[in-house]
């Protein structure tokens, strides 16, 4: 399966990187992050983001046990690999690095997670109860990096077998995050539940609720949620009317909105492409 756009993570990754180094640069990175998020040229952003990647790598090299640095690195690599990379081998490498950073971050924060890769579903879920609200951000990042990794490896059914664990993880995140919940989690939950058809464990009806929740929480400003809704749910169930309505709404909505401009421009590009081949798909 071709990697889909996980553009809702851009704000998280850029603001995270900024918070780590802005104290040393008098707010420069905060301004740079905001400029990238509100830029209307994805190619320019694609060219600019690797500088953040190299910066985070160097910081992690000098501070390999710092959960904050590792979390930012994981989000950065997962986002870039999912958003900008079409080559499967490159996407695999980038999201694998993201997964490693995220695994180390959660291990440094919550010791029982250090052997998650060796646990079966029931044992994995049993460890989640010990994760508290103060650890919700690193838990969210682990879930996001894992989802990006699994989508990059979606042709490997062994990788897809991990999806139930990631769903359980995001459910726990929702339980502990309270008012601090990142609205992007609802889009990711929708993606998780539509990666597989119903016959193989997918839950499209539940996914639809999550996609609509993501749209409602941002008042429709995050156009990526509608694109994922159309791609993941409407196409899975061959609901042409819903598919076209969602994508036409994306095309008719102004891209410019603080914090969403870049992701919205990219969402429009995706919506245009999906509409163009809709007759062939349906």
pLDDT tens per residue across span 50-68? 887 888 898 889 889 988 8
**At residue 147, does pLDDT exceed 70?**
yes
Q: Identify the CATH number of the domain in which residue 152 sits.
A: 1.25.40.920
Range of the domain at 160: 1-178
Taking the C-alpha atoms of residue 77 and residue 102, their distance in angstroms, rounded to an integer, is 10
Least trusted range by pLDDT, from 35-44, 100-109, 126-135: 35-44
Counting the structural domains of the chain, the total is 1
pLDDT given for residue 246 in this prediction: 97
Indicate the pLDDT class of residue 28, thresholds 50, 70 and 90.
Answer: very low
| Mean pLDDT of all residues in 138-159 | 84
Domain assignment of residue 257, yes or no: no
Token pair belonging to 215: 């749209």
Q: Which residue has the higher pLDDT, 169 or 25?
A: 169
Residue 236: other Cβ atoms inside 10 A: 17
Residue 132 belongs to some domain of the structure: yes
Q: Which of 249, 159, 151, 157 is nearest to 191 (CA)?
A: 151
Q: Picking from 6-10, 93-97, 143-147, 188-192, which range would have the lowest pLDDT averaged per residue?
A: 6-10
Q: pTM, whole model, 2 decimals?
A: 0.81
> Does residue 270 have a pLDDT over 60?
yes
pLDDT at 59: 84
Question: 272 in a domain, yes or no?
Answer: no
Report the pLDDT value the prediction gives residue 3, as an integer from 0 to 100.
Answer: 32
In a domain, 202, yes or no: no
Q: Give the integer Cα–Cα distance in Å for 112 and 129.
A: 11
In a domain, 14, yes or no: yes
In this structure, is residue 251 part of a structural domain?
Answer: no
Please provide residue 196's backbone torsions phi and psi, each rounded to the nearest 5 degrees.
-120, 145
Distance CA 56, CA 41 (A): 23
Give yes or no for residue 129 having a pLDDT over 80. yes
d(CA 193, CA 23): 40
Report residue 194 as tokens. 């539509």
Q: In 133-271, at which residue ranges do the beta strands (DSSP E only) sit?
A: none
Is residue 205 assigned to a domain? no
Query: Does position 276 have pLDDT exceeding 50, yes or no?
Result: yes
Q: Is residue 278 part of a domain?
A: no
First to last CA, the chain: 18
Closest C-alpha among 177, 255, 249, 178 to residue 211: 249
Query: Residue 269 burial (CB < 10 Å; 0-12/13-18/19+)?
Result: middle
């Amino acid at each position: 399966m071709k990697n889909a756009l996980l553009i809702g993570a851009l704000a998280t990754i850029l603001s995270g990187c900024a918070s780590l180094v802005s104290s040393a640069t008098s707010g420069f990175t905060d301004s740079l992050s905001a400029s990238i998020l509100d830029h209307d040229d994805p190619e320019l952003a694609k060219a600019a983001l690797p500088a953040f990647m190299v910066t985070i790598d160097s910081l992690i090299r000098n501070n390999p046990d710092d959960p904050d640095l590792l979390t930012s690195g994981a989000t950065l690599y997962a986002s870039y690999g999912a958003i900008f990379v079409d080559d499967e081998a490159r996407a695999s490498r980038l999201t694998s690095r993201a997964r490693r950073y995220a695994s180390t971050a959660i291990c440094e924060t919550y010791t029982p997670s250090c052997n998650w890769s060796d646990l079966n579903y029931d044992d994995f879920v049993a460890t989640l109860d010990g994760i508290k609200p103060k650890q919700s951000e690193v838990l969210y990042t682990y879930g996001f990096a894992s989802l990006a990794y699994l989508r990059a490896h979606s042709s490997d059914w062994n990788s897809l077998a991990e999806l139930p664990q990631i769903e359980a993880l995001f459910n726990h995140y929702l339980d502990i995050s309270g008012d601090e919940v990142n609205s992007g989690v609802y889009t990711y939950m929708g993606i998780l539940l539509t990666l597989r058809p119903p016959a193989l464990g997918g839950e499209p009806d539940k996914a639809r609720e999550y996609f609509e929740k993501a749209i409602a929480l941002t008042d429709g400003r995050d156009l990526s949620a509608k694109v994922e809704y159309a791609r993941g749910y409407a196409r899975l169930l061959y609901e042409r009317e819903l598919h076209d309505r969602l994508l036409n709404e994306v095309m008719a909505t102004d891209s410019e909105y603080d914090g969403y401009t870049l992701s919205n421009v990219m969402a429009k590009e995706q919506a245009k492409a999906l509409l163009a081949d809709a007759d062939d798909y349906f």
